[in-house]
Amino acid sequence: MSAATEHVEHAGHGHNTDEHDPHHTPSDRYFIKVALFLALLTAAETATYWVPLGAFATPSLLLMMVIKFWIIIRIFMHLKYDSKIFGTMFYIGLGLAVFVFCVFLFTFQFFEKFW
Amino acid sequence: MADIAVHESEPAHEDHGHGHDDGHGAHVTSTGLSNNKLAMWLFLGSECLLFGGLISTYMLYRGRRGDDPGPAQLFDIPLTSVSSFVLLMSSLTMVLAVNAAKRNEHSNTSLWLIVTGLLGALFVGGQVYEFTVFYNEGVGFTTSLFASSFFTLTGFHGVHVAIGVIMLMATAAIAKRGRISGDKAEVVEMVGLYWHFVDVVWVVIFTLVYLIPA
């Protein structure tokens, strides 16, 4: 791995590094820090298997899942830095999936046992 | 979306207004964005629907198993946690490969792609082991609705990972020969997007299927 600076830009491009600049690429070191944070979250998730959290277990697991999901798509998949159109393509599919299958689960009374 | 005709033999234009060449795509497009990347994001959006269907079907059927062994008896959380960690680390090596490709470091690109592929293969190996254990416990694909929906969901994900490993190894071989540079570096990014998606789907499966008690 080559020496990493905080921000790596393409040779020949002197663009600014605002959030939606497609030429902006975070450094290797930054990605390693993000991966370590994700690994810590995974360890925390796994710990809930041995440490009983009672009623807090499911909400905390769901929260950690959403945080991991968000970090991966925003940072590792570059949605934070790329054009918003790419994100829109993905969020439409994701939103549709969440909506359709929540309706599906409601229809089959899946959520009734939770209240 | 129509491409404005720009041939690879022509020099890339340094136009930073509309329809600029972003340094990775061979074509200048009417949106100024890579059509390949747009198509990949659209594909990944549609994959959300596929996995959403499989996950919600599993959630609905996970209690339907009669007297057969269920999640509490079958799931090996420590093993699955290690598998999850392996897949998560493969996402890190994948971004390192993409970064290396953007810097035109062919050998580093190839190296990180191979490491990612090996981590993916390790994950698939863990899944095969898990399936074998379940089968030996008497839980096959048609044993119960729980088993059918579980094997379908995790099997589909496993197939996606296996396809990703093949893509990674093929891309690594091409990168090793120095054929991925300049305007073709986007190929590594495409494979990376697919790979991260496979990882992000596992993040959801790991929590909803394995960790949240039935």
Q: What is the DSSP track for A29-74?
A: HHHHHHHHHHHHHHHHHHHTTTS--GGGHHHHHHHHHHHHHHHIII
What is the length of chain A?
A: 115
What's the full length of chain B, in residues? 214
Rounded distance between C-alpha atoms, residue A69 and residue B201, angstroms: 8
Q: Which residues of A touch B48 (CB under 8 A)?
A: 90, 93-94, 96-97
Residues in Cβ contact with B171 at an 8 Å cutoff, skipping those fewer than 6 apart: B113, B180, B187, B188, B191
Listed in sequence order, the residues at least 6 apart from B106 whose beta carbon sits closer than 8 Å to its beta carbon are B175, B176, B178, B180, B181
CATH 1.20.120.80 domain position(s) in chain B: 35-211
B35-211: CATH topology is: Four Helix Bundle (Hemerythrin (Met), subunit A) (1.20.120)
Q: Render pLDDT for B42-74 as a digit per residue (tens, 0 to 9).
A: 999 999 999 999 999 999 998 888 888 888 888
Q: Is the ipTM of this complex over 0.90?
A: no
HSE, CB side, 13 Å, CA atoms: give it for residue A20.
6
Q: List B28's β-bridge partners, or say none.
A: B4
Interface test with B, best of A77, A82, A92 (most B CBs within 10 A): A77
Residue predicted with more confidence, B128 or A105: B128
Predicted local confidence at residue B182, as pLDDT: 65
Q: How confident is the model at residue B180 (pLDDT cuts 50, 70, 90)?
A: confident
The CA distance from A2 to B112, in Å, is 12
Task: Give the gap in angstroms from C-alpha B98 to the nearest C-alpha of chain A.
Answer: 10
Query: How far apart are alpha carbons B40 and B46 in whole angstroms?
Result: 10
User: What is the end-to-end Cα distance of chain B in Å, rounded?
Assistant: 46
Is A77 in CB contact (< 8 Å) with chain B? yes
- Å from A89 to nearest chain B CA? 5
Please provide residue B65's backbone torsions phi and psi, each rounded to the nearest 5 degrees. Answer: -140, 0
Name the 3-class secondary structure at B193. helix
What average pLDDT does the structure give for chain A?
Answer: 81
Count CB atoms within 10 A of the CB of residue A64: 18
DSSP A111: G
For residue range B90-145, what is the model confidence (pLDDT) as tens digits?
999 999 999 999 888 888 999 999 999 999 999 999 999 999 999 999 899 999 99
**Confidence (pTM):** 0.83
**Mutating which of B37, B41, B59 best tests the A interface, going by the most A Cβ atoms within 10 A?**
B41
